[in-house]
Structure 1
Amino acid sequence: MASTLFDLSQDVAVVVGGTGVLGGALAEGLAKAGAAVAVLGRN
């Protein structure tokens, strides 16, 4: 069985609102799943 549920190693994710709590957690989860993550925010 795979060690992760999702393999995003070939994907790029853009997280809008990444400076907030929810956006930061989403960006972290996507990065742990292997995605290349671009985080956008106001600050």
Structure 2
Amino acid sequence: MELLPGQVAVVTGAASGIGLAMARRFAAEGLKVVL
């Protein structure tokens, strides 16, 4: 999947584990993250 800056990622379970890692990676890639 191609991630583009400005897209919005909705991440559930972002308090720890895989969800947290995904939220951090998405933010680093320039996506807006909703937890």
Structure 2 length-normalised TM: 0.79
| Greater fraction of residues in strand | 1
| Greater fraction of residues in helix | 2
Which runs of structure 1 show a deviation greater than 6 angstroms over 4 or more consecutive aligned residues?
A: none
1:19 aligns with 2:15: yes
Larger RCO (alpha carbons 8 Å, 6+ apart):
2
- In structure 2, runs of 5+ residues without a counterpart are none
Structure 1 length-normalised TM: 0.67
Q: CA RMSD in A?
A: 1.3
Count of residue pairs the alignment pairs up: 34
Sequence identity percentage: 35
Question: Which structure is larger by alpha-carbon Rg, 1 or 2?
Answer: 1
Distance in 2 of aligned mates of 1:22 and 1:37: 15
